[in-house]
Structure 1
Amino acid sequence: MSALPLIFSAPFVLLALLALPVIWFLLRTVPPEPQRIAFPPLRIFSKIPEKQPVAARTPWWLLVIRMLICGLLVLACAGPVWKPAQTTPGNGPVLILIDNGFSSAKAWEERVSQLEQTVREALQSNRLLAVLPLGNPVREIELQNPDRVLASLETIQPLPYAIDRSAQLPAIKEFLTQNTNATVIWLSDNLTLNGSDDFPQKLAELNPSASLILLRQRTTETLALTAPDTKESNLSVRIIRATPDAPETGRILASDGRGNLITDMPFTFTKDAATASVTFDIPNDLRNRISRLAIINEKSAGAVYLLDSSHNRPTIGIFSGGSAEQARTLLSPVYYIKNALLPFADIRDNGNIDELLSQKLDALVVADIGELDSQTTRQLKDFITQGGLLIRFAGNRLSAGNDDLLPVKLRYGDRNLGGALSWSEPRKIAAFAKESPFSSLTINDDIKIKRQVLAEPTPTLYEQTWAALEDGTPLVTAAKNGKGMIVLYHVTATPAWSDLPLSGLFVEMLRKTIQFAKTSDKSISDNNSASLPPRLLLDASGNFVQPGATAPYLKIPNSNRASAESPPGFYGPEETGIAQNTLLPTDNLYTFKNIPASFEQRQIGGSDTRDLRAPVLLAALLLFLIDTLLMLRMSGTPLRINRRLFKNSLPTLLAVSLATGMWGVPKAQTSEREPAALETRLAYIITNNPSLDATSKAGLTGLGQFLSLNTAFEPAPPSAVDPEKDELAFYPLIYWPISSTQQTLSNKAIKNLNAYMKNGGTVLFDTRDALRSLGTMQQTEETSALRNILSQFDVPALEPVPTDHVLTKTFYLLKSFPGRYDNSPLWAEASEARDANDDTPVRASDGVSPVLVTGNDFAAAWAIGERNETLFPVSGSDPRQREMAFRAGANIVLYTLTGNYKADQVHVKDLLERMEREHMQ
């Protein structure tokens, strides 16, 4: 039976089919019920035919129908199954190997379902079982009862990095040596990194007598993302796939460290291509804010690429001390420096040094400057010691003397052709030393140096030399100064002294030089004993999670590809930390090609198993209805059909037929939150406190009515949400009343709420304790519960809403945010650092704070009953306090919907007029 696409779960029931001949005989010998004829006193003889036929046997077609009914009932009881799942061969122990690397996350539910099916099959056949996730730490393989394995399946999770399958081979070999009759099942993601994995061949060689089953994914749809060179003129990323089965088109989202969307770009694979590329052509200020690139709808850590500060395009200022004549385009050093740096840096070349330093540069390039005033010299020194990079080029002014902003001490004058300290012919550049940053560059023999400034010989001159001429004299020298660095090119940035500015080598040398613009990052890299604590980590699905207490530190230097010792994520301080990614820029994905013949290959979830009991029973029921109608017709009972009833019941009958399924259709996933997706509504967190939840619902209902009457926003009735089970993305604002008995959140709830806040949602926490805390956020039971909750989320720093905040003018002009109480401030995300000469708060993205905190019990002030009566009194001294509470709620809701648009200068005039009118009143 196993070779057929149809099996029966209870085949012994089919023996009942042997009774069909007996049933045939009984039905054939029993005639149908005689026809009943009415006997009126008159006209009786006229209606009775002369010869009345009486059936001696049951009609053959009626016998066939009834036999079919009996046969279908027997088949349904036997449990017919179409295309049953393939069973595990053998009767020995079963070893299940499961790929749990980053590429398995997208189809993890299907993989776990297959794993559960295999474990349950082993449970029915009383076979011992072992499950080995190939990405987990190497350990001894132990056989267990299937029921224990089934209970522990939830502990098996995908990992956010590429796994090393071969590390588990010694443990597998030891297991197969002890269990020669074992069956090995490998749930494979069918992917290998860079095509160098020979795990199938090595596994087949361990025990030739073992049964090997390879369960592949149906299709290899995994997409991954890398950034080959993030310091080019435009940010370019590379999308890779293993097979053409993967989607041909998609979009990449670029977001900042707070999860705010910066831009998105589409990508398209050409036919059968394994890679595609996307270039983000955006301003440098926006580009430097990007910290996360992700492929939409690709549930994998490999589809996320993190960028730290070392990937930013540096902002570089250029200044020349040349004369007005030298300022002409082709004679100006700025022209050559700017064109060399433009592909991989943001250039600032307008203004003097003071103006350039005020623009927060990463590096400053100066060409041929002589003596500087004391104030400018002090500013340059401060710039360098605080981490800046100063790149200088020689010239007539520099050759006239020395200053304190040089990496080496110079000799007075310069060396040129035909002069003092001269050489007879131009010199070439010597090969770069291995220790030099230029060591990977190729030198063009056509480059000639005709003039240079010389350095005084010192014991440390060789260590400070990055490039030299054939005679050993330095061409480029460098030295650290505080946290920064000074680099000197001993020639000019124009072709006057050498051919270097006309060559491609000049561009590459400058490119290597400005990599030291982030000297704080270099100091970390240079310290071989450094280790950085994790700040944010990625899970296998590509979502940010908070590092646990046992999360490993990142050791410097590291391989840059994530592993168990260094999971993907951000390490170290936000400004100078390091991003660890799942893939390297040069990685590629491939599928396994040469699978040994000893493997029996199947597909994960490959059999479209259908349970045929429902359609068989439905067929029996339809035949039974047909038999009943025929019997009624044969007995003379008139069949009258109410057309209206038939018309009304027809849709119901069709719906029942479709629901039952004519082919055993598998269960379909339905949307759990369709109403919330169709209408905009507010929500509140279920606290399992009936009184508190009722107040939240009544409060949001009252606020919704106020919004409908006074604004253009008409929210639908509020929803009660459970952050662990419900989709939160439909709600712009979620109200969360905090109680002293607040329950601990599960990891799934924390993850959902973190994702909600990072994707633009706002949670309004209300401790309702303003009277007891006296508006100072001092410790109460509710405040303690709130702090415990916020400690689990990635929330920004908070501050009381300032008077110039958008919340104070989104719809109504407000000075405070009262609720049932009026002595607690409203807390929101703290503004970022301000410019020294600017009093305007600088806020990221649309300015919407993901967290708002109050203790004024908003819901109680908004709450209304069935007859629109207020449910709770307010305790403030202002007779308009409830009205102001509704206004505060309206501002908060519209703030979450519209962002900081009221901060635009176009609204200033109208706001001033409104403020003047209110002041006069």
Structure 2
Amino acid sequence: MLQIGPVMFAEPLILLALLGLPAIWWLLRATPPMPRRIFFPAAIFLRGLRNSEESPARTPWWLLVLRLALAACVIVGLAGPSLNAAQGDFRGGLLLIVVDNGWTAGPGWQQRRQTMMSLIGAAKRQNARVVILPTARTMAVEPLAPMLASDALGVARALAPRPWPVDRGAAAERLAGLRQRSADAGQAHIAWLSDGFMSPSDTAGTAALSGALARWGQIHFYTDGAGENPPVLAAPKPTPSGFAVTLLRAVPGPSEPVSLQVLGADGRILSTAPGQFAAGETELDIALSMPVALRNGADRIQLSPPRSAASLWLLDSRWRRRQVGLVSGANLELAQPLLDELFYIERAMAPFAETQRGTITALLSGSLSMLVLADIGQIVGEDAARVANWVNKGGVLLRFAGPRMAEKNDDLIPVRLRRGGRSLGGALSWENPVGMAEFPEHSPFFGLPVPAEVKIKRQILAQPEPGLSQRSWATLGDGTPLVTAERRGEGWVVLFHVTANAQWSNLPLSGLYVAMLQRLAEMSPGRIGETPADRHAQEFLPPLLVLDGFGQLGAPPPVVRPLPVGPDTVVTELGPETPPGYYGVSAARQAVNLPRGAADLQPLTG
């Protein structure tokens, strides 16, 4: 290998062929022998004619120079020249490439791959060995080992961004194992290819990796181009008219137009919304307004075009706005707003459901997912048969207690009730209001925090009977049921043993009330006849579709595991076995999204 200034030649011996240029020059100057003269009488007829095309007696000088230059270029090209290809001197040593290939890597991945290939190509020309260390978690457990540059090229081509965060702490541990076995420590050429971001959870890991690399040699840091400042789509928020979406940029930049799309499960564009980042701003709020029918068919919200796993947000049945019917046993015309039994329900469900008041007959004639009855003791006549049939087909019947139910009730309740109930100062009483206990694991409310300030003053008691504990989804501190439920056909019958307003408890005044009603709404189908998204009817959710590092949905690889069912199907740690995507079955799938926010776009320090 020969280097002349900034140019390096992989095969310098071929340059010796330049010594043959004089011989080539002599051959190019050679002309054919002089022609012989032969007497030809008829040539007299050609006298006076002039030939318009004449061949020169010798090769023109400029053509000779051009041919010599072409010959020299061929020789130099065969010698394998490269300009600044090495980007460092690691001849015969070790090239250590650290690649950040987490969820932020997608937009700048092509440039990062080109840099990687250039470095490996230089290592090949300098007979150096190569180690490639990706920082995103991988299923590979084999220890790091130096490889030939030709093998490293294949590894680099197969490397791709991942839809989960980097784990630089784990990368530092793998590097420590390599240091113990390698004799090149302190002499390696280190190239760290990154987008320059880190999250607060990876601060310690970043520092550990930086320290481990410093013991190998000087760190050369390569970042993506200056134009790579792609927006990130934060978690959307449901609104009565659609969605509120916030877009984030890592650093302030120039004014930049963006476009949001809402796509259906079949890939059709249901809605679009343009936006414009103002110069110097890092946040942009966009409102997506959609009719309820289109919103309930939405599959994902994405930037157009998606460039990473943070460019889109997957939606499932929890994002649908259910049609909820409300019926009260009180005289609504005489009720004051704050004493209205449906007042708190309407406001609690406003962010995630469309509510409408009416009679049982009128409401069930439409497309309802959930029917709420506030202190209706008995459902009589044809209404009882209609409600029972609707529940058996998949509807969720939610009932609230009250004075009327305390006196008489029907069989469309999950448990048998005692007459009269229990209250402060009553026959079955307690001295002070009682708080709530933690939710049991079989309850759909499991995992919700229970505020200490929520107190119950009065309730309807359930008759003790076998199986009561399994039908109790919420209890008081003394163990008495507060919310009971029973499966009926494809649907559910749920009873709150307190009123829907604040007369018997302050539960309707708390945020827990909203969360509990949302969990119940999620159990209901989008429309009767669909399969309800009942997380608690399954133990595991098999992978259906998963995201890659470029924000594309595809079939799950074999290493992806089914997810255990839990509250909101939360995945605490994304990785190769649990990537973001859809889990479950097509009729009732659950979305697992990549958590991200402004804190995950902090500048990389270490």
User: Do the structures match in fold with TM over 0.5?
Assistant: yes
**Greater Cα offset, 76-85 or 367-376:** 76-85
Residue 555 of structure 1 corresponds to 563
Q: 1:7 to 1:357 in 2, by over 3 A?
A: same
How far apart, CA to CA, are the structure 1 residues paired with 2:331 and 2:154?
A: 81
| CA distance 1:422–1:109, shift in 2 (3 Å) | closer
Instruction: Kindly indicate whether residue 237 of structure 2 is the aligned counterpart of residue 226 of structure 1.
Output: no
Aligned to 2:100: 99
Matching residue's letter, 2:451: T
SS at match of 2:97: strand
Distance of 2:192 and 2:533 partners within structure 1: 44
1:311 aligns with 2:319: yes
Q: Deviations over 1:635-655 (max 9, x none)?
A: xxxxxxxxxxxxxxxxxxxxx
Structure 1 residues 200 and 453: alpha-carbon distance in aligned structure 2, compared to 1, 3 A threshold: closer
Letter aligned with residue 169 of structure 1: A
Q: Distance in 1 between matches of 2:493 and 2:542?
A: 27
The equivalent position to 2:179 in structure 1, one of 176, 181, 186, is 176
> Which residue of structure 1 lines up, in the alignment, with residue 372 of structure 2?
365
- AA paired with 1:278? I
Q: In 2, distance between residues paired with 1:456 and 1:233?
A: 43
Aligned partner of 2:146 among 125, 143, 146: 143
Give how far 1:464 is off.
Answer: 4.8
CA distance in 2, matches of 1:469, 1:123: 71
Change (3 A) 1:91 1:246: farther
User: Structure 1, residues 266-301: CA drift from partner, whole Å, max 9, x if none?
Assistant: 445567665444332333222222111111244112
2:562–2:583 contact (8 Å) kept in structure 1: yes
Task: Report Cα offsets for 1:209-251 as digits up to 9, x if no partner.
Answer: 4343322223451332232644877423333333225875522
Change (3 A) 1:531 1:184: same
Distance 1:255 1:187, change over 3 A: same
1:231 and 1:358 map into 2 onto residues whose CA distance is 26
State the shift of 1:318 in Å. 0.7
2:236 touches 2:243 (CA, 8 Å); kept in 1? no
| Alignment equivalent of 1:282, drawn from 269, 284, 290 | 290
* Alpha-carbon distance in 2 for matches of 1:553, 1:593: 32
Cα 1:442–1:330 change in 2 (3 A) is closer
| Deviation digits for residues 615-652 of structure 1 (CA, Å, limit 9, x no counterpart) | xxxxxxxxxxxxxxxxxxxxxxxxxxxxxxxxxxxxxx
SS at match of 1:392: strand
Which amino acid in 1 is paired with 2:362?
A: E
Find the aligned partners of 2:350 and 2:269 in 1 and give their Cα distance.
Answer: 26
Q: How many residues align?
A: 525
CA contact (8 A) 1:433 1:466 kept: no
Aligned AA (2:495)? L
Question: Which residue matches 2:168?
Answer: 165
Equivalent position amino acid for 2:397 in 1:
L
Match of 1:294 in 2: 302
Structure 2 residue identity aligned to 1:545:
G
1:518 and 2:522 aligned: yes
Q: 1:252 to 1:561 in 2, by over 3 A?
A: farther
Deviation at 1:570, TM superposition (A): 2.0
Q: Does the residue aligned with 1:359 lie in a helix, a strand or coil?
A: coil
Alignment of 1:86 onto 2:87? yes
Query: Does 2:416 align with 1:409?
Result: yes
TM-superposed CA distance for 1:303, in Å, is: 0.9
Q: Is residue 88–residue 189 contact of structure 2 (8 Å, CA) maintained in 1?
A: no
Q: 1:111 to 1:477 in 2, by over 3 A?
A: same
Displacement of 1:374: 5.8
Question: CA 1:144 to 1:353, structure 2 compared with 1: closer, same or farther past 3 Å?
Answer: same
Q: Given residue 258 of structure 1, which amino acid in structure 2 is its aligned partner?
A: D
Cα 1:563–1:292 shift into 2, 3 Å: same
The secondary structure found in structure 1 opposite 2:232 is: strand
Return the alpha-carbon distance in structure 2 between the equivalents of residues 431 and 226 of structure 1: 34
Match of 1:378 in 2: 385
* Equivalent in the alignment of 1:573: 585
CA apart distance, 1:469: 6.5
Closer, same or farther: CA 594–397 of 1 in aligned 2, 3 Å: closer
Aligned equivalent of 1:191:
197
Q: Which amino acid aligns with 1:160?
A: P
- The match for 1:540 is 549
**Inter-partner Cα distance in structure 1 for 2:242 and 2:452:** 27
Q: What amino acid maps onto 1:421 in structure 2? A: A
SS in 1 for 2:494: strand
Displacement of 1:487: 2.7
Aligned Cα root-mean-square deviation (Å): 4.2
Q: Does 1:584 align with 2:595?
A: yes
Aligned pairs (5 A) from 1:395-406: 395-406=402-413
Q: Distance in 2 between matches of 1:393 and 1:469?
A: 16
The answer (yes or no) to whether the contact 1:230–1:312 under 8 Å persists in 2 is no
CA 1:422–1:539 in structure 2 vs 1: closer, same or farther (change >3 Å)?
A: closer
The question of whether the paired residues in 1 share the 8 Å contact of 2:320 and 2:352 is answered with no
Q: CA deviation at 1:320?
A: 2.1
Give the letter for the 2:460 counterpart: V
The CA deviation string for residues 560-606 of structure 1, in whole angstroms up to 9 with x for no partner, is 6642112332222223111122x2266742345433xxxxxxxxxxx
Match of 2:435 among 410, 426, 430: 430
> In the alignment, what sits opposite 2:56?
none
Larger radius of gyration: 1
What residue is the counterpart of 2:605 in the other structure?
594
- CA 206–333 in structure 1, closer or farther in 2 if over 3 Å, else same: closer
- State percent identity of aligned pairs: 28
Deviation at 1:257, TM superposition (A): 0.8
Map 1:687-706; keep pairs closer than 5 Å: none
Q: 1:339 to 1:161 in 2, by over 3 A?
A: closer
| C-alpha contact 1:524 1:556 (8 A) present in aligned 2 | no
Matching residue of 2:207: 201
Cα deviation code 1:832-878 (max 9, x no counterpart): xxxxxxxxxxxxxxxxxxxxxxxxxxxxxxxxxxxxxxxxxxxxxxx
Give SS of 1:343's match: coil
Task: Find the residue that maps to 1:103 and give its secondary structure.
Answer: coil
- Of structures 1 and 2, the one scoring higher in RCO (CA 8 A, sep 6+) is 2
Query: 2:416 is matched by which residue type in structure 1?
Result: K
Contact 2:482 2:498 in 1 (8 A): yes
Tell me the SS of whatever aligns to 1:563.
coil
CA distance in 1, matches of 2:216, 2:349: 64
Structure 1 pair 123/504, CA: closer, same or farther in 2 (3 Å)?
A: same
User: In the alignment, is the contact (CA less than 8 A) between 2:421 and 2:460 conserved in 1?
Assistant: yes
Q: Which structure carries more helix by proportion?
A: 1
Hey, what does 2:217 align to over in structure 1? 210
Amino acid at match of 2:582: F
Partner of 1:131: 132
Go from structure 1 to structure 2 and tell me whether the alpha carbon gap of 1:514 and 1:357 turns closer, same or farther (over 3 Å shift): farther
Partner letter of residue 198 of structure 2?
T
- Superposed, 1:237-252 pairs within 5 Å as 237-245=245-253, 249-252=257-260
Q: Counterparts of 1:444 and 1:171 in 2: how far apart (Å)? A: 49
- Supply the distance in 1 between the matched residues of 2:313 and 2:254 (Cα, whole angstroms): 19
- Preserved contact between residue 253 and residue 279 of structure 2 (Cα < 8 Å): no
Does the 8 Å CA contact 1:240/1:588 hold for their aligned counterparts? no
* Secondary structure of residue in 2 paired with 1:255: strand
Instruction: Check conservation: 1:363, 1:514, Cα contact below 8 A.
Output: no
* Bigger share in strand: 2
Q: CA shift at 1:108, angstroms?
A: 1.8
Offset from partner CA, 1:189-213 (integer Å, 9 cap, x none): 3222345244443234447243433
Per the normalisation by structure 2, the TM-score is: 0.73
Contact 1:223–1:240 (Cα < 8 Å) also in 2:
yes
Counterpart of 1:310, as a letter, is R
Are positions 1:154 and 2:152 aligned together? no
For 1:241 and 1:424, locate their aligned partners in 2 and report how far apart those are by CA, in whole Å: 56
* Inter-partner Cα distance in structure 1 for 2:107 and 2:357: 48
